[in-house]
A and B are shown apart, each in its own frame.
Chain A
């Protein structure tokens, strides 16, 4: 069974540029999470989807971040415009009914 797939693995952009990350969860997992992880820290939730509905996005900086999961399967997280402080690893995870979470490899974003 394929795990959680994320792309790209690495992204380097200039500040003020837009960037998008893609995640394909494990088949059949209705819950999808986007996390941000800074160096030496644990992941922090940005947004959680139950199927196609965003049910917890209180930590998402909505002035520059947006996310979608249109058909309740794969998801895209976008930042526009990116700032220096957005440099981090963006992790996607999925689960069935909020139990064991399975994580993708993450996208390491560097903003110059």
Chain B
């Protein structure tokens, strides 16, 4: 079974800082990896999806990278804003099957 770990569990940064969130997984035979954002009391919003053949994906101030061989993905957020405050989760889809395995998330607070 795929194990997904996210470190740190919580992160607090001043507005304007660039930051990196980490996701690691135990089985490198993945199909894709997805980063989500979750606001308190809300469902998950998809941010970026990286296919196993890709190294990175970008959307606005967000950049996600994937290193399958080391079992790692990072989510880079540039010029952080208070509106970026949320919990960020990564989810890994294995090479077989359509199930996604989620990490426990990183709770981000951006201080104005």
Contacts and interface: CB of A to CB of B under 8 A. Distances in A.
Pairing of A with B: yes
Given A42-B89, A48-B98, A99-B32, A106 B49 contact: no
Nearest to A50: B98
Interface string B74-112: 000000000000000101010001111011110000000
A103 B49 contact: no
Given A42-B4, A103-B44, A98 B105 contact: no
Interface in B32-73: 32, 34, 36, 41-46, 49
B2 to A, nearest CB: 11
Interface size class of B (residues with CB under 8 A): 20 to 34
Interface size class of A (residues with CB under 8 A): 20 to 34
Given A103-B43, A103-B44, A106-B42, A56 B103 contact: no
B32 A42 contact: no
Contacts of B49: 99-100
A41 B14 CA distance: 25
Contact of B42 (A41, A48, A100, A105): A105
Nearest to A44: B102
A24 interface: no
